[in-house]
Amino acid sequence: MQKKKLAILSAVSVALLTLGAAGINAQTPPPGGSISVTGTITATVTAIDTKDRWVTLKRADGSLVDIQVSPEAKNFPQIRVGDQVTAQHSETVDITLIPAGQAAPNVSGGSSLVTAPAGSKPLAVEVDTAVITGTVTAIDYDLRLVAVLGPLGNTRTLQVGPAARRFNEVKVGDNIQITLKSSTMIEVTAPAK
């Protein structure tokens, strides 16, 4: 949890640099935005050790990697040599500035896992979400620094880049809400005929 919290707080600094923190008024919707990164890897099954649940995968660059498949993968017996394995991972950071008094520092989150029905080729999709709200405790407009008090009482000072618009409207007491969404999908498919 501590590593995930540090990753999220680091994402805040990236989001502030990219999105620009801004104050909220009646005429303007709350500022916010999103940063997303997605990566996909595809490999071909070249060998299977059914007794010890090992699969050898050949990557696009020709390199081989051995992976031991956990007992939780209920459709392991459906994997065949020649099958394609696709793994995709996405991370999204959403950031919103909330006026003072509308949200207290907090941490919440959840996780869900969906798998293919028994007897099908293996498929798993896991989605994790964490929401952290912190309070702006200090601002140095000249040096473009903002200190944020997290829900566990820790303070992080973040550098706000020159691309951040309306930084001068951020006030001590405003809250920053960060939502981190992470999804991983692993799918095994038969080779195209």
pLDDT of amino acid 163: 61
Q: Which of 53-57, 114-118, 141-145, 165-169 has the lowest mean pLDDT?
A: 165-169
Contact 88, 76 (CB under 8 A): no
Q: How far apart are CA 69 and CA 65, in angstroms?
A: 13
> What share of the chain has pLDDT > 90, as a percent?
48
Contact 99, 87 (CB under 8 A): no
The pTM is what? 0.66
Asked whether the predicted pLDDT for residue 145 surpasses 90, the reply is no
Q: Rounded mean pLDDT of 97-112?
A: 85
Model confidence band, residue 23 (pLDDT cutoffs 50, 70, 90): very low
Q: Which of 113-127, 130-144, 168-182 has the lowest mean pLDDT?
A: 168-182
Q: How far apart are CA 26 and CA 21, in angstroms?
A: 16
> What share of the chain has pLDDT > 70, as a percent?
80
* β pairing state of 175-189 and 155-159: unpaired
CB atoms within 10 A of CB 113: 11
Contact 40, 88 (CB under 8 A): yes
Helix (H) / strand (E) element for 159: namely strand 155-159
